[in-house]
Structure 1
């Protein structure tokens, strides 16, 4: 067995490094753009007088970096070639996401707002696989060119991880002779709504609370009458673009349905495995950055006349973190490689537990590594003059979002004990003799 990354991937990582140094790093250094990454970063990025939203100049800088990456052929790397991508594999994307995060904070990769010179673009795949031809024509290239922006309205104030008890409802209603739907309800954490031209809103159209079926995805114009941004929720890591949004007597025509009526949860979960394995790789990369920086600092810092690195109290915790990082790297890459060998539905059936393992452990590792780096660096590590507090505050969110770690552990338990997955027992109450 060969556990080395293919040459095509390692060569591409070098190509990305060269692009960063040639096109992205100079942009980061000009016009005091370092304020977005040094100790001033939270202040520079956040418009505290405008609800805590990202400052326009911060978002403009990110957009320029993406334009440069797109012109160079990197931004759309994981997408199909028909959309300007390179059909990037799961394995390649995990290697790329880890590599970029391991470089530390910078304009090349700032996951606070899912920015990267190699983008994820999950909505493109949603429209490719669920959209009608008209929807694909109207939205896909608009999203890629960034003159259309979509938000995602799934989570509700009283229903976080459980979307099946959704209270947002849509009922059939014709207006001006056109068949359509009236939507009423409220959504939380509707990320990016301040820029969105549309929001994919999930609403129950039939069935009972708790049913997995009967929920439908609707493409709702963000400026439709009855759509109101009620507040922006300030978070552990600012700025915020996560509002609570109400939908009151909002009407859309029948052709606003994305996918099949009643199968909205399939739309919502369509790219969950791709997102989770890539997020795991990003958290692993950020954790590795914290470990590497801690080791370097411990060798350089010499209190009481000798390097910190000589103390076992410094060595042992970093050894534990480095060991888990190595084990996770193997698991993430093996899982990604296996995902590349099978169709999407087969991934859900056979490897959902492996993706969950990768994700929850990597997100937790990143928080532990950032916390340890703060401790090794001492008061300087606690300050904003080092990036560790930012890394901790940002990656702490991923232990909750994209499926909380408890939800993912439950997924693993379902596979382990045979309640779901390929080893599902016919009799869930059967006991082993």
Structure 2
């Protein structure tokens, strides 16, 4: 397969449009939202009007008829300015609406996707549990089918769930144990739970290190009842479903991490040109030049990695290893670039009024969410044929 990742005219036009939106609309106001731990509803509504939440979906469901590459390009450009806004889009599509698009019935798609594609509503994916973390197969949340009422009765707790408690969240797809295999292993299924369902409680927003302008909550289910028809895909296939969802999501997270890494370069280059010390701009010092050159090189390599994974996915080729490598590399690059950008800014880099301080605090979660760096190394090793 060719590694020529030059963008088509349509993709480049989209990239430039989102780039302008990020700098003209997001950048001037997001700092205040971030400082006050507020969700930027008007920014998200504008992103919806631009069609960003419907980029990879067909027009029959309210989408833009684009592809996954288009979504990732938008995510990267947003993350160059702010990760909270970028992850709201990434999670809203990759985790919120994509499971319904891939595995939903025709009725489920027509019920939920139009509002999700328009940005009028957000969806969330309830996978992680307080005692689970990387061991997603150890799900403790249960769902029992009440045959008399033909309803699923759900009990359990989910944690760290993005987009799950906003005023426009319409649903959360949760994984739950719905039975046991003959060998005793759990049968995990995915079930759509509409917001406001009795027995479904959304916790208060977490106090987080970063991503302060995004919504992250704990969810609890106590005899929460939803119709049997809310089962997403086949019963017992929830584990396989979320494995595929996470494979694709890693490419999107890699794009987000690349955007943050590039944003650190953008901010540091601009600062180095204007900040003077000892009678000259600090960017004239070779030590700073080398630091910025390395930062730009890392961002470029990360971009090449996620675009390669996206191209393989688009061509129907195996991409699991490439997605894990892109996710692993770009997220570690983001942390490194954020640290270096803070260093370039000196004392100002420690002040939250400067974007690099926000980027520094936003970067660490990238090595944890949607598969830790350790998990990515395990997956790569398995793709190399090494035993688990």
TM > 0.5: yes
307, 316, 326: which one aligns with 2:300: 326
- 2:47 aligns with 66
1:128 pairs with 2:69: no
- 1:360 aligns with 328
95, 111, 127: which one aligns with 2:86: 111
Q: What is the rounded CA distance, in whole Å, between the counterparts of 2:360 and 2:307 in structure 1? A: 24
Unmatched 5+ residue regions in structure 1?
A: 47-53, 421-433
- 1:5 aligns with 7
1:151 pairs with 2:124: yes
CA positional deviation for 1:296? 3.2
Q: What is the rounded CA distance, in whole Å, between the counterparts of 1:210 and 1:321 in structure 2? A: 50
CA positional deviation for 1:159? 0.6
Change (3 A) 1:334 1:211: farther
189, 203, 220: which one aligns with 1:246: 220
Instruction: Verify the 8 A CA contact 2:62 2:118 in the aligned structure 1.
Output: no
Unmatched 5+ residue regions in structure 2?
A: none
TM-score by length of 1: 0.78
Pick which of 408-417 and 187-196 moved more.
187-196
1:384 pairs with 2:358: no
- 1:298 aligns with 272
Larger RCO: 1 or 2 (CA < 8 Å, sep 6+): 2
TM-score by length of 2: 0.86
- 1:192 aligns with 163
What number of residue pairs does the alignment pair up? Answer: 383
- 1:43 aligns with 35
Q: 3-state DSSP class of the match of 1:85?
A: coil
Post-superposition CA distance 1:346-400 (Å, at most 9, x none): x5xx321111111121111112112111111111121122101111222321211
Q: What is the rounded CA distance, in whole Å, between the counterparts of 2:183 and 2:371 in structure 1? A: 18
Q: 3-state DSSP class of the match of 2:54?
A: coil
1:87 pairs with 2:62: no
Q: What is the rounded CA distance, in whole Å, between the counterparts of 1:138 and 1:84 in structure 2? A: 11
Q: What is the rounded CA distance, in whole Å, between the counterparts of 1:10 and 1:68 in structure 2? A: 19
Pick which of 164-173 and 356-365 moved more.
164-173
Instruction: Verify the 8 A CA contact 1:164 1:212 in the aligned structure 2.
Output: no
Instruction: Verify the 8 A CA contact 2:85 2:213 in the aligned structure 1.
Output: no
Change (3 A) 1:227 1:75: closer
Q: 3-state DSSP class of the match of 2:173?
A: strand
Post-superposition CA distance 1:327-357 (Å, at most 9, x none): 2222222222222111xxxx5xx32111111
